[in-house]
Structures are given as C-alpha cells and as structure tokens.
Amino acid sequence: DTGVSQDPRHKITKRGQNVTFRCDPISEHNRLYWYRQTLGQGPEFLTYFQNEAQLEKSRLLSDRFSAERPKGSFSTLEIQRTEQGDSAMYLCASSPLPGPTSNTGELFFGEGSRLTVL
Amino acid sequence: GNSVTQMEGPVTLSEEAFLTINCTYTATGYPSLFWYVQYPGEGLQLLLKATKADDKGSNKGFEATYRKETTSFHLEKGSVQVSDSAVYFCALRDTGANSKLTFGKGITLSVRP
C-alpha cells in the first residue's frame, strides 16, 4: 500500500510527558500537512511543509509543539510537556504540488494517531 | 478568515431515502470546494470536489454543485444505503499559494436498513 502512513496509531501518555508522531507521505508528494481533530469537530490545520521547508504554522500550534521534515520525506510532530487538552487525533496528509495535470487541492490523509493524555 | 458551516447533526435516515447535507462557506476569492467522508475506523477520503462556480462534483451517487451566489455546496444523494453511514465533512481550499484545507465540523449520517 502506498498511501499515507502514521505511527503510532494510538498513544496513551501521562501529563507532562513528551510524545512524537511520525508520518510517511505518499512518496512523490511534495507537500505534507498536520491537522488535529477532536471529538465532534472537523480537522483543524496545524502546519504544513513543502519539501523540507515549513511554510505555515497555525496559531493553534503552541511552543510545546514542533514539527520537522528534515529530508523532505517523512515528518515528525513532537508535543512536549503534554496536557490533557492535547488529547486528540493527529492527522497527517500529503499532496502533490498544484499544477495543470495534478489534482486541484486534494489532500490524501492517513488514518491518524490518537493521543490520550491521562 | 475562511470558514465552513455545516448543518447540525446527526442525521438518521432509512435506506433508499433522499439525503441533503447543507454546507455554506465564507471565503475571499474563488476557493475550491470538497466533500470528504470518514467511514468507521478509516481515514478521511475525498468524496467529490468542484473547483469553480456552477461545477458539479459527483461520485458514488453523491452530487454537490458549487453555488457562488449562495456560497453553498450542499451534498445530495437520491437513495442512501446502509454502507453510506459515515461522517461527512465539507471543506474549502484557499486560493493563492497556500493549499491548506479548511473543514466544517462534520455531520454523522446513520442509515437504517
């Protein structure tokens, strides 16, 4: 399967611990996105990369959150000093660069990493 | 800023009933519009899209028409099936260089046999 993969699928941690999620995008996709989804809400944008460059960060992304995409392939999202309010599903998506022959804005999502902070 | 508003849910229908899920948006310029679906235990997947005014997106019997005059992109299906039970999200994509999607809250559809 060559879709977007995320790891781990589930993470339970105690408040104050650090957690890291990994995302492997579709291999030929230049853009990679992180979203957060809480129960009963739609996905909320956190940040996105074009190749290795982080081009935008949401104000939702506090200084405890950091994302990297060091070689323009996989990405990690780290949350330091987790709080109960960080409990959510963290979604990764990828897309090709827009162009005349590529999909117009469609994002391809992974199945998400569910974080529970006790 | 951009926003997407979906009708409140959940929605419960009997099999073969007609479905309409309302979606309206606020955006500057001419965004592209999308419906994504999330089946139980699965990730979000694109259901259909429309990139300009009056375009109609369609897939799996679902349709939605991009109405600029009413800033709407309502999802319809003439005859729903049990297998359509899922969460449906309306979304828009900014114009310009940034290609992130802005999502609505989603609505849960349950179809009874």
**What is the distance of C-alpha B40 from the center of its chain?**
17
A51 interface with B at CB cutoff 8 Å: no
Q: Which two tokens stand for residue A107?
A: 């994002």
- Please enumerate residues of B whose Cβ is less than 8 A from a Cβ of A: 4, 32, 34, 36, 42-46, 49, 51, 89, 91, 93, 98-106
* Intra-chain end-to-end CA distance of chain A, in Å: 33
Cα A79 from Cα A66, distance rounded (Å): 7
Q: Does A31 sit within 8 Å of B103, measured CB to CB? A: no
Across A44-53, A54-63, A90-99, B87-96, the highest mean pLDDT is recorded for: A44-53
Cα B113 from Cα B111, distance rounded (Å): 7
Cα A112 from Cα B41, distance rounded (Å): 10
Q: What is the pLDDT of residue B28?
A: 81
Q: Once rounded to an integer, what is the mean pLDDT over residues A26-55?
A: 93
Q: Does B34 sit within 8 Å of A91, measured CB to CB? A: no
pLDDT in tens, A60-73: 888 999 999 998 89
Cα A93 from Cα A29, distance rounded (Å): 10
Q: What is the pLDDT of residue B96?
A: 65
Work out whether the CA dihedral A66, A70, A72, A74 comes out positive or negative. Answer: negative
pLDDT in tens, B45-83: 999 999 989 999 999 999 999 999 999 999 999 999 999
Q: A93: number of CA atoms within 13 Å, CB side?
A: 27
The residue among B34, B99, B102, B108 with the most chain A CBs within 10 A of its CB, best to mutate, is B99
Q: Does A33 sit within 8 Å of B44, measured CB to CB? A: no
Cα A116 from Cα A1, distance rounded (Å): 28
pLDDT in tens, B21-51: 999 999 887 899 999 999 988 889 999 999 9
Q: Give B-chain residues touching A25 at CB under 8 angstroms.
A: none
Q: What is the pLDDT of residue A2?
A: 76
Q: CA–CA distance from A86 to each of A80, B15, B54, B99 (Å)?
A: 10, 38, 40, 25
Q: Which amino acid is residue B48, in one-letter code?
A: L
Yes or no: say if B92 and A45 are a contact pair by the CB < 8 Å rule. no
Q: Once rounded to an integer, what is the mean pLDDT over residues B10-26?
A: 96
Q: Does A45 sit within 8 Å of B102, measured CB to CB? A: yes
Q: What is the pLDDT of residue A79?
A: 97
Q: Is B36 helix (H, G, I), strand (E, B) or coil?
A: strand
